[in-house]
Structure 1
Amino acid sequence: MLSEYEISALLLSLKVSGSAVLFSLPLAILVAWVLARYHFPGKALLDSLIHLPLVLPPVVIGYLLLISMGRQGVIGSRLYEWFGVSFSFSWQGAALAAAIVAFPLMVRAIRLSLQAVDIKLEQAARTLGASPLKVFFTITLPLTVPGLLAGTILAFARSLGEFGATITFVSNIPGETRTLPLAMFSFIETPGAEAEAARLCLISIVVALAALLISEGLTRMAQKRLAL
């Protein structure tokens, strides 16, 4: 049985990861669509900036979030002054950090799926009088479902394991920002808590593996339906 501490860390991790994926998915679809369908000056630079979180140390991402979205940050100070919204030292900030780190994985999976769609199908629908939005929602989007599912669950799994950007931006606050990786880190730093750290390690592995297996299963189901 899981202890109350472990349940709290697990539920917070699921909450943070789910929020990160939910709110970044529409933007990921838009960005993937732009990169897959359009050619414009600066496209390579945009592509590089989107994938930058994959190669930057997570601590750097956390620091950039701190000076930009923190209570005294360039953007964060305005958000707090005008709307009373604060990302620093809150689970919302942890979700923001997770979303930024996982965003490139989501965009890449969706973009590859969009590039695999036969453009002639879209062009045929346009010649029959369908609007661009109707073509997107009735033809393009359904055909990219496998990529959408893969990208979404891959980003979710990556968000579950986020550590560096989170602890730098929102610290390690019990019940508020202490997700599974941060809880495990706390036990690692505590003498005599090796067993607790091992239990959290096992929980993290099981949850991440389950997410990947679900992703694979949903992707196969979507591919079979599209092949019918």
Structure 2
Amino acid sequence: MIALVTGAGSGIGAAIAQRLAADGHTVAVNDLTLDAANQTVAAIEAAGGTARGYAADVSDEAQVNAMVASITADVGAPEILVNNAGFGHQALFTEIEPTMFDKIFAVHVRGNYLCTRACLPVMLEKGEGHIVNIASQLGQVGGVELVHYAGAKAAIIGMTKSLAREVSDKGVRVNAVAPGPINTPLVEALSDDWKAVKRAELPLGRFGQPEEVGGVVSFLVSPDAALFVGQTLGPNSGDVML
């Protein structure tokens, strides 16, 4: 199948793209810059997989539509969409500037909406497709100095459930993954104090690896996950137990 993974130049997105390629899918790797996307493409090709890089800001409608059109022309319409693009920012609520609040929601929430909007019609036409939205356990429990980020991730979980109710009977399965702290540049950018406290709270006592999230996505787009719709799976080291 053709898989589009957004924000896949590094971290969790790169690991997801590499796992899907290893599973035999052709992967369209998106990031803000083509250089970032092509780093993941090179890793996939070195491992024997098939991938192409695409640059686009997922919060920009014209760029998203142009990207999906290019993917469709190059390799075919995406049948798997992994909405992963995002970034982190840490600040007390009273210190979050409106511009940063808007940017967090633009990339995480609007980006999710725009990419899904661009890919969903063909999935519905084919009667088959998979959408996996990368949320966060912070969208379930919240986080100090992360009101804007946690709020955006909570919105993604709500969007996942709602869209699943609309399209599951049309052959498109929609689910979410809510990782806990994962050893990526995004988490590394948070303060050492926050990371130390968070690590101590986890039943496993460690942060996860990007490849462990890639395995969850691989499962969700496989036939083994046929009964999973509107679900939020939590590779979170035990931080959230549902």
Structure index of larger Rg:
1
Flag whether TM exceeds 0.5 (same fold). no
Bigger relative contact order, structure 1 or 2 (CA pairs below 8 A, ≥6 apart): 1
What TM-score do you get using the length of structure 2 for normalisation?
Answer: 0.27
The TM-score with structure 1 as length reference comes to 0.29
Q: Which is helix-richer, 1 or 2? A: 1
Higher fraction of strand: 2
